């Protein structure tokens, strides 16, 4: 049997936790946090990583920075963990659920395209739902259980309809599509390090992006707008 979510604590965890306690770096910043951010970014193939309180907060912050506004819509698949939809609601937007492919459990891109073609209209670089004229500002594919949809096709659809792509990669650390890491296709990718995830930090999340400016803004938000240099993202 391969357990889905039992943490394996068999390395240097005790030593590192003691080090944090001894040095007083027990919260959201410090050299271990910076090291972790950089290691996650490097591992998935992104330029920048920014730690967040958890995967849900990472999704919330990514949407705020993607420009998702109150009464917008964000497209996401109808099979995911509740946190994806919760994070959309936290921005004041509403989810539009697209059904998944029965074999992969990933967003069915035929259904997505048909929905966008028939139910929306395009005006001045934005896509709007015909029925209520509200803006659909982003799309959030979820790489459920580490699977990924055809990300090249999804990115092309998102580009055509001006949707910012935020990949909920919380369950997909180490997954890739055509040798490109989960979380590196969209403007943002987000990861969770909850107790039941592939790597656990007890609780935690990371936002990855290739955009330096957005990474700085994310760091600013996750560190409550403090100006302490230790909170400054380590730019490469």
Cα(161)–Cα(136) distance, integer angstroms: 9
Which CB atom, from 108 or from 171, has the smaller least distance to ligand PLP? 171
83 sits near ligand PLP (criterion: CB under 6 A): yes
Which CB atom, from 67 or from 195, has the smaller least distance to ligand PLP? 195
> What distances in angstroms separate CA 176 from CA 6, 45, 62, 116, 152, one per listed residue?
23, 10, 21, 26, 12
The answer to whether the CB of 137 falls within 8 A of the CB of 95 is no
> What distances in angstroms separate CA 122 from CA 172, 184, 191, one per listed residue?
32, 27, 31
170 sits near ligand PLP (criterion: CB under 6 A): yes
Cα(170)–Cα(189) distance, integer angstroms: 8
The answer to whether the CB of 44 falls within 8 A of the CB of 183 is yes
Q: Kindly indicate which of the ranges 32-40, 91-99, 128-136, 166-174 contains the residues binding ligand PLP, using the contact rule CB under 6 A.
A: 166-174
Q: Tokens 């001006």 — which residue?
A: 162
**DSSP-assigned letter for residue 5:** S
Which CB atom, from 83 or from 151, has the smaller least distance to ligand PLP? 83
Q: How far is the CB of 132 from ligand PLP (least distance, A)?
A: 27
Cα(115)–Cα(129) distance, integer angstroms: 10
- Distance between terminal CA atoms of the chain? 42
Query: How many residues interact with ligand PLP (rule CB under 6 A)?
Result: 14
Which CB atom, from 128 or from 188, has the smaller least distance to ligand PLP? 188
Among positions 80, 120, 184, 222, the unique one binding ligand PLP when judged by CB under 6 A? 80
Q: Kindly indicate which of the ranges 31-39, 52-60, 149-157, 211-219 contains the residues binding ligand PLP, using the contact rule CB under 6 A.
A: 52-60
Q: How far is the CB of 105 from ligand PLP (least distance, A)?
A: 11
85 sits near ligand PLP (criterion: CB under 6 A): no
56 sits near ligand PLP (criterion: CB under 6 A): yes
The answer to whether the CB of 167 falls within 8 A of the CB of 141 is yes
Q: Kindly indicate which of the ranges 67-75, 78-86, 102-110, 128-136 contains the residues binding ligand PLP, using the contact rule CB under 6 A.
A: 78-86
84 sits near ligand PLP (criterion: CB under 6 A): yes
Give contact residues for ligand PLP (rule: CB under 6 A). 54-56, 80-81, 83-84, 142, 168, 170-171, 192, 194, 205
């Amino acid at each position: 049997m391969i357990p889905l979510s039992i943490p394996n604590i068999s390395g240097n965890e005790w030593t590192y936790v003691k080090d944090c306690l001894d040095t007083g770096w027990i919260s959201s910043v410090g050299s271990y946090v910076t090291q972790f951010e950089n290691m996650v970014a490097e591992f998935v193939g992104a330029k920048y990583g920014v730690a967040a309180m958890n995967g849900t907060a990472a999704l919330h912050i990514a949407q705020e920075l993607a420009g998702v506004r109150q009464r917008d819509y964000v497209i996401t698949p109808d099979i995911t963990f509740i946190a994806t939809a919760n994070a959309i609601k936290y921005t004041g937007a509403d989810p539009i659920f697209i059904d998944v492919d029965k074999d992969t459990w990933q967003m069915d891109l035929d259904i997505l395209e048909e929905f966008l073609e028939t139910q929306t209209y395009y005006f001045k670089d934005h896509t709007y739902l015909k029925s209520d004229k509200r803006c659909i500002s982003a799309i959030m594919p979820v790489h459920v259980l580490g699977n990924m949809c055809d990300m090249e096709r999804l990115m092309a659809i998102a580009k055509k309809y001006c949707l910012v792509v935020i990949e909920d990669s919380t369950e997909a650390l180490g997954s890739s599509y055509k040798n490109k890491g989960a979380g590196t296709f969209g403007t943002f990718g987000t990861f969770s390090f909850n107790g039941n995830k592939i790597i656990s930090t007890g609780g935690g999340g990371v936002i990855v992006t290739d955009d330096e400016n957005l990474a700085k803004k994310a760091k600013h938000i996750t560190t409550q707008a403090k100006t302490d240099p230790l909170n400054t993202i380590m730019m490469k």
